[in-house]
């Protein structure tokens, strides 16, 4: 009976150790998926959010981007718009946050592909956005490029993807 108990105890301890390892040392893909979730959470506004809350969310959102990051937005049939650097990203976020009473952002079908150098990653997903009190929502394919900068995964480029529809 003792050998079975010892083996069972070793299996339980090994499983617990493996689980704790994934909690404290997550894979780069998991870290990047959390960053995308954080991006959506910080871009989401609720009715009644104070201006201080909105400024805090804008700053948290900007902290996910590298200092020289670019956001390239091309919406069907219109000229593109490029936002470069954290300062412009902050200004655009604050302008958007003050013009909308509510904003709900979700990123669906997030796919992370780690680069061969393990220092870059490409992310593709679908953005689902509902602004104001509208019942409908916008859907846009997105692509993000991440780079590991000083030990942290940061967005270096975000862009809309033109689809055939």
Give tens-digit pLDDT for 60-70: 999 999 999 99
pLDDT grade for 132, boundaries at 50, 70 and 90: confident
Task: Name all domains of the chain by residue range, CATH numbers in brackets.
Answer: 27-160 (3.10.450.50)
Residue 93 token pair: 């976020």
The mean pLDDT value for 39-60 works out to 93
At residue 161, φ and ψ (nearest 5 deg) are -115, 125
The average confidence (pLDDT) of the chain is 90
Tokens representing 14 are: 């090994």
Please report where in the chains the tokens 């937005």 appear, as a residue. 73
**The pTM of the whole model exceeds 0.85:** no
Mean pLDDT across the stretch 8-19?
A: 84
- In this prediction, residue 98 has a pLDDT band, given cuts at 50, 70 and 90, of confident
């Amino acid at each position: 009976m003792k050998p079975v108990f010892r083996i069972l105890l070793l299996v339980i301890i090994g499983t617990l150790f493996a689980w704790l390892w994934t909690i404290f040392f997550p894979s780069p893909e998991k870290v990047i998926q959390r960053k995308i979730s954080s991006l959506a959470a910080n871009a989401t506004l609720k009715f009644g959010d104070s201006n201080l809350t909105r400024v805090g969310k804008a700053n948290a959102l900007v902290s996910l981007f590298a200092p020289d990051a670019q956001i390239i937005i091309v919406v069907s049939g219109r000229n593109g718009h490029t936002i470069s650097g954290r300062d412009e990203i902050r200004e655009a976020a604050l302008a958007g946050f003050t013009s909308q009473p509510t904003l709900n952002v979700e990123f669906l079908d997030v796919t992370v592909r780690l680069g061969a150098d393990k220092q870059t990653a490409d992310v593709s997903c679908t953005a689902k956005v509902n602004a104001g009190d509208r019942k409908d929502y916008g859907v846009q394919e997105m692509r993000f490029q991440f780079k590991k900068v000083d030990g942290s995964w940061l967005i270096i480029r975000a862009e809309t993807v033109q689809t055939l529809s």
